[in-house]
Amino acid sequence: MGELPRPNTYVGAPIERIEDLRFLRGCGCYLDDLSRPGQWHASFVRSPLAHGAIQYIDTSAARAMRGVRAVITGNDIGPAIPTIPFRRPNPTIAPYAQPVIATKIVRYVGEPVAMVLADEPALAEDAALAIEVDIAPLPVVADRHSSVAGKTLLFPGTATNCATTFTAASGDVETAFRDAPYRRRESFRVQRQTAFPMETRGLLAEWDGERLTMSGAAKLPFFNRRVLAAMMGLPETAVDYIEYDVGGGFGARGEFYPEDFLCAFAARRYGRPIKWVEDRREHFMTIAHAREAEAEVEIALERDGTIRGIRGDIFVDIGAYVRPNGTTPVRNVAQFLTGPYRVPHVELHAHAMVSNKTPMGTFRGPGRFEGAFFCERLLDLAARDLGLDRLEIRRRNLLTAAEMPYRIAPIVPDDGLGKTQCDSGDYTRTFDRCIAEFGWAGKMRLNGRLIDGRYHGLGVACFIEGGGSGPREHARMAVETDGTVSVYVGSSAVGQGIETVMAQIAADALRVPMSRVKVLHASTTFLRDGVGSFGSRATVMGGSAIVDAASELIAALRAAAAARLDVPPQDLRLGDGIVEAGDGRSMTWAELAGGKLSVEGIFESSRATYTYGTAAVHVAVDPATGHVEIVDYLAVDDVGRIVNPLTLHGQVIGAAVQGCGTVFGECLAYDAEGQLLVASLADYLVPLATDYPNLRVVTLQEYPSPNNPLGVKGAGEGGIIPVGGAIANAVAAALSELKVEPRELPLSPPAVWRMIKEGRADAL
C-alpha cells in the first residue's frame, strides 16, 4: 500500500523551457531594471597605465561637481586594504591576491583607484573623468616571456612572477621517453579572450542599518556572501545575495570582484542604495579574461601509434593578480591535456605567470579547451610522421568500458580535490558513432583538394568534460497552502534553464505534475547554505539534492498523515497531492502541511562525472582571403542520463558556437605597454547566430554515472572543448599541399592568409 504510483516521465522528456515565456514577452527582470528610492550611482576611476606607482589622486574637482555625493579612494577605506579571497586557498598564491582598490601600485589597465557616487550615472561618469590621477610608470611585464624572465617582479618579496605551478604526474616518464621509437616536441598557443556574456556586470547594494543586500548575484551567491561578510566584519546572516535574471555567465560573471566590496562599502558608509552597471568598454578591461596559454609539449609513441607518454610545460598568463578561481584553468590544462586517451606516463607542469594584464578567471571548459587543442594537434602531427591514419591513432588510444573507472594523472601537490578518475563510458563508441554519422569515409575524397577556388579538409578531435564539482549542494522543498511545492535550490540560473530541468527532476521524484512544482533559485534568503553553478555541476549536484529533499518530503508527509489518520505510515498511499489510507480516507498535502511543512535535502560528493565525445568537421579554406567556412560539423557525446534533450541540445550547440568564436576571431590583444587594444565590439569579433548554420549534435546516454542517484553527467561545457583541435586539424588537412600546420589560435582570416603565404614561399 505504501508504494507510490507509477513514476512520471518528465526526466528524459524534451520539455520547452518554462523561463522562456517571460523572456520572450520581455518580462525578465535584470539588474539594470532595478531602481530604489534615493539610490546613488557609482562610477569607477580606473588606471590608464598597466604598471605604475600612484603619486597622488586629486578628487577636488569631482567633489565640487553638481550631483556628486561622494568620492571614495583607498584612504577612505583604511590603512589595511582588503584583498579578495581565493576559492581554494594555497600558500604560494597569497602574495598575488588582488586588493579591492589600488593605493600605491597599479598593475593593469582598468584597476580601480577611486569610486564616484552621484545622483545619475552620467553625472558619476563625468565626475570620474574630472579626477586627476598621477601615476609614475614602471616597467611593464607584457607577456609570459617577460614574466618568466623575471627582470621585473610584480610583487614585493617574491622571487619569481610564477604564482604557482601545478604538476600532473603518473608513471615513469623518463623511462617511457628514453627508448621511445617516436618522439615529437611542439609549441602551441591559445590567445587571450573573455566569456563575453550579453549582460555586463552590475550590482545594487543596500544597507538598512543591520542587513546588507546585494542584488545582481550570479554563479556563486553563497561564496560571495561569506567573503563579503568577512570583509565587512558582519555576521554571514547579515548579508544576502539576491539573484535576478542573468544575461549569461559562462564562468566569468558572478565571481567576487573589487566592485562587490566597494559598492557594499559605499552603501553601508552612506546609508544609500548604490547601483553600478558597467559599460562594454569597462567590461572588456575588468571582467575576468581567459584562455591565454602557451605549451611546450612532447609526445612519445610506439610505431603503431600507441601513446607511451606526454611531458612538457604550459605557461598560462593569468594577468596581474590571482582572482578567486584564477588557478582553475592552470590546474585543468595540466591534468586534462591528455584528454580521453590512455596515457600511462605523464609529467606536465602548468605555470601560473603574472603579467600587467587584466586578471584571469574561468571561461567555459577552462584549461580543457586549451589542453584539447594542444593534444589533438600533437596526435595529427604524429600520425602524419608515422604514416598512420588519423582515426586509427585515436581509436587505438581511447579508453574503453573495461578500463573504468580510469585514474587520471593526479595533481602534485594535492590541491584538495581528491582522486580524479573517469567514472563510466566507452569512449570508442562515441568516436565510431561520430565518424559514421559524419560520413567521414565518403568525405575523405575531398580532403586536401582545391575545388572551386577553395581547399577542403577534414578534422577530428576527442574530449572529456569534468562535471559535478563538489563538495555539496543544497535544496529545500516546502508545501504551500494550495498544495503546490516550492523547490528552492542552491544552483544559480546563468541561462542554462534550471527552472525547467529542476522542475522535471522534482516532479518525477515527488511523482506529481510539473504544474504543481515551482523552482526558486540561488538567492541566499532561500537556503541556509548552497554553492552555485560552475564546473558543469548544477544538474548533477543540484538535481541530486532535489532527489534527497523529495525523499525527505515524502517521509514527512507519510508521518503527518499517519498521525492524523491513525494508521501506520507504510499503509499509506501517496498520489497526486493526496495521502490515502487503505479504507479510503485521505488528506491533501495542503491539509497536512498547513503551509508549514518544509524539508531540506543535501547531496555531498567529491567524485566528478565525465561526459565524453568526439567532434568531426569539414572546412573549406579560401587561399585568397584566409577565410575558413565550416561546411559541416558534428559532435557526438555521451552525457550519462539526459534530463531534457532540448536544453541539452541548446547547451552543446551554444558551446560549439562559442568555440568557433575562439577559433576564428575573439582575441583580447595587448601592446607592449600593456594597453588593451580592444574597446568595443568593433574590435572583438563575437560569433553571430547566422555564422555557423551547419552544426549538428548527437547525444547519447549509454553509460549513466555511478556517482549520483540520477546517473547524470555535466554537459554544459563539453561542446566547446574539442572545437579548437578539430578545426585546426581540418585547416591543416585542407592546406596540406602548402605544408600549413596551425600551432596557435585564432585562425582568423589574416592569420590563415599569412600561413598560406609563408607556405607558398617555403615551397618555392
Cell readout for 658 is 562559442
User: What is the number of structural domains in the chain?
Assistant: 3
Task: State which amino acid sits at residue 148.
Answer: V
The CA distances from residue 27 to 17, 20, 23, 596, 718, in Å, are 15, 10, 6, 31, 31
Q: At what angle do helices 723-734 and 645-664 cross, to 10 degrees?
A: 50
Q: Is the pLDDT score of 763 beyond 70?
A: no
In one-letter notation, the amino acid at residue 468 is G
* C-alpha span between 617 and 636 (Å, rounded): 12
Domain boundary among 550, 575, 604: 604
- Average pLDDT over the chain, rounded to whole? 95
Nearest Cα residue to 323 out of 272, 393, 258, 368: 258
- C-alpha–C-alpha distance, residues 624 and 452, integer Å: 12
Predicted confidence (pLDDT) at residue 601 exceeds the cutoff of 90: yes
- 490 and 534 both lie in a single domain: yes
Query: DSSP for 559-618?
Result: HHHHHHHTS-GGG-EE-SSEEE-TTS-EEEHHHHHTT--EEEEEEE----EEEEEEEEEE
By residue count, the chain amounts to 764
Distance (Å, whole) CA 366 – CA 385:
30
Range of the domain at 690: 289-410+417-468+607-763
Can you tell me the mean pLDDT for 183-188?
A: 98
Whether residue 688 sits in one domain with residue 574: no
Q: Is residue 3 part of a domain?
A: no
> Over the stretch 670-715, which tens digit does the pLDDT of each residue have?
999 999 999 999 999 999 888 999 999 999 999 999 999 999 999 9
Q: Does the pLDDT value for residue 1 go beyond 50?
A: no
The span from the CA of 365 to the CA of 352, in Å, is 17
Torsion on CA atoms 352, 354, 357, 363, rounded to nearest 10: 20
CATH number at residue 380: 3.30.365.10
Distance CA 301, CA 344 (A): 11
Domain-located, residue 8 = no
φ/ψ of 665, rounded to 5, equals: -165, -35
The answer to whether residue 59 sits within a structural domain is: yes
Task: Work out the average pLDDT over 90-113.
Answer: 96
Give 640's pLDDT tier (boundaries 50, 70, 90): very high
Report whether pLDDT(47) > 70.
yes
Q: What is the DSSP letter of 676?
A: B
Residue that is written with C-alpha cell 547566430 in the block: 689
User: Which of 567, 586, 604 is where one domain is finished?
Assistant: 604
| pLDDT value at residue 143 | 96
Look at residue 29 and tell me whether its pLDDT is greater than 50: yes
Using DSSP's 3-state secondary structure scheme, residue 159 falls into coil
> Running DSSP on this structure, what letter comes out for residue 538?
I
pTM: 0.96
Pair 257, 370 in one domain? no
pLDDT of 363-420, one tens digit each?
Answer: 999 999 999 999 999 999 999 999 999 999 999 999 999 999 999 999 987 776 656 8
Per the CB < 8 A criterion, the answer to whether 625 and 724 are in contact is no
Q: How far apart are CA 673 and CA 657, in angstroms?
A: 32
**Same domain flag for 611 and 623:** yes
- Whether residue 514 sits in one domain with residue 433: no
Q: State which of 565, 588, 604 marks the end of a domain.
A: 604
100 and 238 housed in the same domain: yes
User: Do residue 660 and residue 735 come from a single domain?
Assistant: yes
Does residue 441 lie in a domain region?
A: yes
